[in-house]
Amino acid sequence: MSDKEAIKKLRELKERMTLHELSRELDVQQTTLWRWLHTGKINPKMAEWLKSKLKERKL
């Protein structure tokens, strides 16, 4: 999953969930999620972590 794919997936999830729900589900601070969504950028290592977290949670 590239950085852009991770951001796209987050945006899809954000349409279904609130930022608070998403942060609790992924165990990431709301400000971090907001920054990723707002800037459209994510660190490559965090993108890999996010990929594994999404797969683990089956989101």
Confidence at residue 10, expressed as pLDDT on a 0 to 100 scale: 92
Instruction: Give the C-alpha separation, 36 to 9, whole Å.
Output: 11
Confidence at residue 48, expressed as pLDDT on a 0 to 100 scale: 92
21-40 pLDDT, tens digit each: 999 999 999 999 999 999 99
Please say if the pLDDT value at position 2 is more than 90.
Answer: no
Confidence at residue 3, expressed as pLDDT on a 0 to 100 scale: 85
Please say if the pLDDT value at position 1 is more than 70.
Answer: no
